[in-house]
Amino acid sequence: MQVLAAGVEHADVVGRLLRDFNDEFETPGPTADTFTDRFRSLLGRDDVLVILARTGDDWSGFAYLTLRPTPYYDGPLAQLEELYVVPSLRDQGIGTALLTDVVRLTRERGAGEMHINVDEVDVDTRRFYERHGFVNIEPGADYRMLCYLQEL
């Protein structure tokens, strides 16, 4: 397995994988072509990072991360927007490799913290992130952090 930083030339791969991810969970959204067009723009930005995993000749997953300024750290705050591994290739260390590389790269960029939103019912995904040191309880507190959203 190979893990590499995606460039603009990988926009079609990332767009297709993101559409596959949404299809797996029956999430409505843009087509793969629309995602591809958007990633052509996003992948040229300094505040966007996409890591791809390749197993043999096939793309096996990706991690998509954004960085934003924050007054709480000298460096950016990282948000892991998506992490996806092709279902037939799960439980082979691909997700761990992607997450490990994302954490390494964000540390190199001086990020002070990484946020990940996970659905409460997605127990396997929560267990995955917790196994890698992520928590949903702020240090020093005894209650869970929550994420609120509103479509605009």
Residue 107: CATH number of its domain? 3.40.630.30
Q: Please give the pLDDT value at position 140.
A: 86
Does residue 82 form part of some domain?
yes
Q: Give the tokens for residue 139.
A: 């240090």
Does residue 100 form part of some domain?
yes
Cα–Cα distance between 113 and 65 in angstroms, integer? 12
Does residue 59 form part of some domain?
yes
Cα–Cα distance between 121 and 52 in angstroms, integer? 26
Does residue 43 form part of some domain?
yes
Does residue 142 form part of some domain?
no
Task: Give the angle subtended at the CA of 56 by the CAs of 54 and 59, to the nearest 5°.
Answer: 30
User: What confidence tens digit (pLDDT) does each residue in 89-142 have?
Assistant: 999 999 999 999 999 999 999 999 999 999 999 999 999 999 999 999 888 888
User: What confidence tens digit (pLDDT) does each residue in 2-20 have?
Assistant: 999 999 999 999 999 999 9
The domain tally of the chain equals 1
Does residue 23 form part of some domain?
yes
Give the global pTM: 0.94
List, in sequence order, every residue forming a beta bridge with 44; answer none if it has no partner: none
Parent domain of 21: 2-131
Q: Please give the pLDDT value at position 138.
A: 84
Does residue 103 form part of some domain?
yes
List, in sequence order, every residue forming a beta bridge with 83; answer none if it has no partner: 63
Contact of 33 with 15, CB cutoff 8 Å: yes
Does residue 149 form part of some domain?
no
Residue 59 CB neighbour total at 10 angstroms = 19
Cα–Cα distance between 42 and 38 in angstroms, integer? 6
User: What confidence tens digit (pLDDT) does each residue in 49-88 have?
Assistant: 999 999 999 999 999 999 999 999 999 999 999 999 999 9
Q: Please give the pLDDT value at position 139.
A: 82
Residue type present at position 3: V
